[in-house]
């Protein structure tokens, strides 16, 4: 740490490692906050091993546990991120380093919230020095935007470290957090009387889920237990988002399969809309290609198979268009 990030500071002949043990994540976050305030007030090098930080995410606290946080003699803080991927000849996999930088940027944001809270506590104390809750005389401790990434050196078990600038990742994460819809706003938009308590009867829970609009994308399958429910709802509504977010973005204001087919056939849509123009061009090319295909006669004995396949194709097309197939 001294060599990579703070060579002008006094060498760390010894470092204080406070005990951060407490009950539950809230207790550990409180203990971490007190330890950070005490370290800034005391000066010198302090290492916080696996501290607990709290970050407000859309109105709900999220508890984070970085590998380590170092308090410098000047009172600034640095995040230490330890990873298992190797650093070969001083460089590592860019994708993995980028993921580690994004993770560390979240810790930097959480530390900035703690620093601001400590400064507020110090101002409320009003007597200088350290406040009752670890405040630091109204001075906001600096959270460094260069983090220390620790990895195995080459193919050995020896550690090596490198400084990583996370200013860009921090700015992106902060912007994303400010754009999140708060839980209070989501709750206010729910129909009156909606309750998702697990102890409610199954029928009431099913009814409550049915009353909430479904917003589905294929990547929901990997993250949400209600993804299959929302997928069925989206398919029933003919939502193009069922095909993926990229398809939904390319189609612009065309939100349903019915709208897409109507625009492609020239029945609706603004011809100046790029999405509508592209659909009509694709439909024209498809019709031209199908019209120019030579008819291949079926081999002998394949009449029954061809008839069955044609019936399945007719049923599938009719199902997509919402029209019952002819018997």
The CA distances from residue 112 to 29, 63, 274, in Å, are 14, 14, 45
Whether the full predicted model's pTM is greater than 0.75, yes or no, is: no
Residues 277 and 243 in one domain: yes
306 or 132: which leads in pLDDT: 132
Express each pLDDT in 251-272 by its tens digit. 877 888 888 888 888 888 788 8
pLDDT at 275 over 80: yes
Does the residue 43 lie in any domain? yes
For range 299-311, the mean pLDDT: 45
Percent of the chain with pLDDT over 90: 35
Per cent of the chain over pLDDT 70 is 83
Say whether both 226 and 172 belong to one domain. Answer: no
| CA atoms of 105 and 123, how far apart (whole Å) | 27
CB 289 within 8 A of CB 281: no
Q: Please check whether residues 154 and 241 belong to one and the same domain.
A: no
Ranges 124-133, 150-159, 240-249, 296-305, most confident? 150-159
Residue 292 sits at the vertex; the CA angle it makes with 291 and 298, to the nearest 5 degrees, is 90
Whether residues 16 and 130 share a domain: the answer is: yes
Given a cut of 50, whether residue 313 has pLDDT beyond it is no
Regarding whether 167 and 52 lie in a shared domain, the answer is yes
- For position 320, what pLDDT does the model report? 44
Ranking 5-14, 169-178, 289-298 by mean pLDDT, the lowest is 289-298
Q: Give the mean pLDDT of 224-241.
A: 87
Q: Which domain, by its residues, includes 74?
A: 2-179
Q: In this structure, are 146 and 200 located in the same domain?
A: no
Question: pLDDT value at position 140?
Answer: 74
Q: Give the pLDDT score at 100.
A: 95
Specify the pLDDT at position 241.
82
The last residue of a domain, from among 179, 213, 232: 179
pLDDT digits (tens, 9 = 90+) for 115-147: 999 888 755 544 444 554 555 555 678 999 999
Which tokens belong to 219? Answer: 């990547």
Question: Domain check: are 56 and 158 in the same one?
Answer: yes
Beta strands per DSSP E along the chain: 46-49, 53-57, 60-64, 68-71, 77-82, 146-152, 159-165
Same-domain check for residues 111 and 257: no
Does the pLDDT of residue 73 top 70, yes or no? Answer: yes
Lowest mean pLDDT among 63-72, 95-104, 193-202: 193-202
Length of the chain: 327
Q: Which pLDDT value is given to residue 138?
A: 53
pLDDT reading at 210 higher than 90: no
Give me 27's structure tokens: 């207790």
């Amino acid at each position: 740490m001294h060599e990579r990030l703070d060579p002008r500071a006094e060498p760390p002949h010894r470092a204080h490692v406070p005990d951060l043990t407490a009950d539950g994540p809230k207790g550990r976050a409180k203990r971490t906050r007190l330890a950070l305030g005490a370290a800034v007030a005391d000066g010198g090098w302090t290492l916080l091993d696996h501290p607990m930080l709290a970050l407000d995410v859309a109105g709900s606290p999220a508890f984070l546990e970085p590998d380590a946080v170092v308090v410098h003699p000047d009172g600034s803080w640095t995040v230490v991120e330890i990873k298992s991927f190797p650093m070969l000849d001083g460089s590592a996999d860019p994708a993995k380093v980028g993921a580690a930088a994004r993770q560390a940027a979240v810790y930097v944001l959480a530390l900035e919230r703690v620093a601001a809270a400590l400064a507020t506590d110090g101002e409320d104390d009003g007597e200088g020095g350290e406040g009752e809750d670890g405040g630091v005389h109204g001075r906001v401790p600096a959270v460094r935007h260069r983090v220390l990434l620790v990895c195995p050196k080459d193919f050995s078990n020896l550690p090596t470290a490198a400084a990583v600038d996370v200013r860009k990742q921090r700015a992106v994460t902060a912007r994303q957090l400010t754009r999140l819809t708060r839980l209070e706003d989501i709750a206010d938009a729910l129909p009156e009387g909606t309750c998702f308590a697990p102890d409610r009867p199954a029928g009431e829970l099913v009814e409550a889920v049915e009353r909430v609009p479904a917003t589905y994308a294929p990547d929901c399958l990997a993250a949400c237990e209600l993804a299959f429910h929302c997928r069925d709802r989206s398919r029933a509504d003919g939502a193009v988002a069922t095909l993926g977010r990229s398809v939904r973005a390319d189609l612009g204001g065309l939100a349903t399969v019915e709208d897409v087919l109507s625009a492609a056939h020239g029945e609706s849509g603004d011809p100046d809309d790029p999405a509508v123009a592209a659909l009509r061009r694709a439909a024209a090319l498809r019709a031209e290609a199908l019209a120019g295909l030579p008819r291949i006669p079926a081999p002998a004995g394949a009449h029954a198979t061809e008839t069955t396949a044609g019936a399945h194709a007719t049923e599938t097309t009719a199902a997509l268009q919402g029209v019952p197939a002819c018997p």
